[in-house]
């Protein structure tokens, strides 16, 4: 009996002491020790990150984190004037080379802008796109159908890189060379001058199958798939519409648009959403629907193919004029149409937002610090 009394007294004492104490334990401690959040909800998964490589969330990225590909996180190690001590002339060398090329080949501006997009969306801004081969013998990104023979501008990057190597050997990465060249191309296309971020390093690998694996959009993708892909890279609908404003410079080959003028959805009729004027325009350039693939002539996206203006959006709003089917979807969906309308009426806002988003694009999943390498030539690993 004595034993039972002692036992009951001990339990009572324990409760008298512990219950008030528990009331003062901070809620987060419950999470930490795995008891949920103290409000009867499921515990939230912890975001995994390496404290050595802090994440920086730019613009709407924080909001997108739930859907974004975690591999596409950006890093704080990038900074302006990265080469101010190691290669002070780097940015000027790039700027002079791009300006020189522009004099004889103004299309180069559009070429490099597209190169940056295709490099950054596949694995990150790591110059994987520039490799001609990798030691494993696997097909490199350049060989992917999404890049194929239609990707131009790599020779300009080679040119700039060899100038940089002469000035400061193995110092400026190919990934930075591409971003710096693109930044310069944007300025020459009419955007406000800004200094590019530097500090990227070059990857040792490049795989065509990664480019094929829903990382680069095709011109006949439905809007849903475009939105999903851009979200995975950290860009919301508004940001996607603004980045697509890049289709204000350069051209598309007839391969990608002819069907809209000649044989939309196997009907032998034009795309019914295209005004007759645009159908005629396409037919005038894309004369022969039977021209072999990749031999078709290019058609400028708009009337000013070397100026990054808002004509792409104005043409859409005022004349329902688009060349790529994917661009046409932007005007007809409530998730994207308001941004098209806004960009069509506010050229300054387009310039400002486009520059910001190209900067954000240039930070996707970069290699920094001791990762990767600084290639001697952009076409092969060291
Ligand atoms: C849904 C998204 C996109 C699709 C389906 C798409 C598709 C295409 C296609 C089919 C071409 C024509 C290629 C050729 O015939 O040589 C093209 C050209 C181009 N794209 Fe895109 N693109 C997309 C997004 C972007 C983005 C986000 C950028 C840049 C930020 C971009 C920049 C360019 C540029 C500058 C050109 C002209 C290239 C030149 O003239 O050399 N595109 N795009």
46-102 pLDDT, tens digit each: 222 222 232 333 333 333 333 345 445 556 689 999 999 999 999 999 999 999 999
Average pLDDT, the chain: 84
Asked if pLDDT for residue 109 goes beyond 70, the answer is yes
> What is the per-residue pLDDT for 46?
25
> What is the per-residue pLDDT for 248?
97
> What is the per-residue pLDDT for 292?
75
Q: Is residue 14 part of a domain?
A: no
Binned at pLDDT 50, 70 and 90, residue 5 comes out as low
Residue 217 known to bind ligand: yes
Q: Is residue 293 part of a domain?
A: no
Q: What is the mean pLDDT of residues 368-372?
A: 95
pLDDT digits (tens, 9 = 90+) for 11-21: 545 444 444 44
Is 223's C-beta closer than 6 angstroms to any atom of ligand 1? no
Is 219's C-beta closer than 6 angstroms to any atom of ligand 1? yes
Q: What is the mean pLDDT of residues 287-316?
A: 91
Q: Which atom of ligand 1 is nearest to the CA of 229?
A: 1
Q: Which atom of ligand 1 is nearest to the CA of 113?
A: 35
Q: Is residue 242 part of a domain?
A: yes
Binned at pLDDT 50, 70 and 90, residue 148 comes out as confident
Q: Is residue 6 part of a domain?
A: no
Residue 229 known to bind ligand: no
Domain that includes residue 195, residue range:
90-250+301-361
Q: Is residue 271 part of a domain?
A: no
Is 249's C-beta closer than 6 angstroms to any atom of ligand 1? yes
Quickly count: other Cβ atoms within 10 Å of residue 87's Cβ: 18
pLDDT above 70 as % of the chain:
79
pLDDT digits (tens, 9 = 90+) for 162-212: 999 999 999 999 999 999 999 999 999 999 999 999 999 999 999 999 999
Asked if pLDDT for residue 3 goes beyond 60, the answer is no
- CATH code of the domain in which 182 resides: 1.10.520.10
Is 140's C-beta closer than 6 angstroms to any atom of ligand 1? no
> What is the per-residue pLDDT for 296?
85
Whose Cα sits closest to atom 5 in ligand 1?
219
Residue 122 known to bind ligand: yes
> What is the per-residue pLDDT for 149?
67
The count of domains in the chain is 1
> What is the per-residue pLDDT for 9?
54
Binned at pLDDT 50, 70 and 90, residue 218 comes out as very high
CA dihedral (319, 320, 324, 330) in degrees, to 10, reads 130
Which residue among 225, 246, 328 is best mutated to probe the pocket of ligand 1, counting the most ligand atoms within 8 A of its Cβ?
A: 246
CA nearest neighbour of 353 among 248, 249, 240, 189: 240
Which residue among 247, 253, 331, 363 is best mutated to probe the pocket of ligand 1, counting the most ligand atoms within 8 A of its Cβ?
A: 247
Active site residue 15: no
Asked if pLDDT for residue 216 goes beyond 50, the answer is yes
Q: What is the mean pLDDT of residues 333-342?
A: 98
Whose Cα sits closest to atom 37 in ligand 1?
250
Residue 119 known to bind ligand: yes
Q: What is the mean pLDDT of residues 326-355?
A: 97
Catalytic entry in 15, 118, 253, 351: 118
Q: Is residue 41 part of a domain?
A: no
Residue 84 known to bind ligand: no
> What is the per-residue pLDDT for 127?
98
Is 251's C-beta closer than 6 angstroms to any atom of ligand 1? yes
């Amino acid at each position: 009996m004595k034993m039972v009394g002692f036992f009951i007294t001990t339990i009572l004492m324990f409760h008298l002491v512990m219950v008030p104490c528990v009331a003062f334990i901070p809620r987060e401690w419950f999470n930490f020790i795995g008891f949920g959040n103290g409000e009867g909800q499921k515990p939230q998964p912890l975001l995994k990150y390496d404290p050595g490589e802090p994440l920086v969330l730019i613009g709407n990225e924080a909001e997108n984190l739930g859907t974004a590909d975690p591999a596409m996180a950006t890093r704080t190690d990038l900074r302006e004037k990265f080469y101010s001590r190691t290669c002070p002339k780097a940015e000027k060398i790039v700027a002079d080379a791009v300006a020189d090329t522009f004099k004889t080949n103004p299309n180069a501006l559009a070429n490099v802008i597209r190169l940056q997009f295709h490099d950054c969306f596949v694995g990150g801004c790591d110059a994987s796109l520039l490799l001609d081969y990798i030691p494993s013998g696997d097909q490199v990104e350049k060989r992917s159908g999404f890049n194929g023979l239609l990707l131009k501008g790599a020779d300009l990057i080679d040119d700039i890189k060899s100038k940089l190597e002469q000035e400061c050997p193995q110092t400026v990465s190919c990934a930075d060379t591409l971003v710096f060249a693109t930044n310069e191309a944007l300025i020459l296309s009419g955007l406000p001058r800004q200094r590019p971020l530097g500090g990227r390093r070059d990857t040792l690998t490049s795989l065509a199958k990664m480019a094929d694996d829903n990382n680069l959009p095709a011109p006949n993708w439905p809007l849903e798939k475009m939105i999903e892909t851009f979200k995975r890279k950290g860009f919301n609908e508004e940001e996607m519409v603004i980045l697509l404003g890049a289709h204000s410079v350069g051209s598309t080959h007839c391969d990608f648009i002819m069907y809209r003028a000649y044989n939309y959805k196997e009907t032998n009729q034009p795309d019914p959403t295209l005004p007759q004027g645009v159908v005629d325009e396409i037919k005038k350039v894309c004369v022969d629907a039977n021209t072999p693939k990749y031999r078709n002539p290019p058609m400028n996206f708009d009337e000013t193919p070397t100026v990054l203006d808002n004509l792409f959006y104005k043409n859409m709003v005022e004349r329902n004029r688009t060349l790529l089917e994917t661009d046409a979807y932007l005007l007809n969906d409530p998730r994207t149409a308001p941004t098209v309308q806004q960009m069509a009426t506010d050229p300054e806002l387009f310039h400002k937002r486009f520059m910001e988003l190209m900067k954000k694009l240039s930070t996707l999943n970069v290699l920094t610090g001791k990762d990767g390498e600084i290639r001697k030539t952009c076409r092969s690993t060291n």
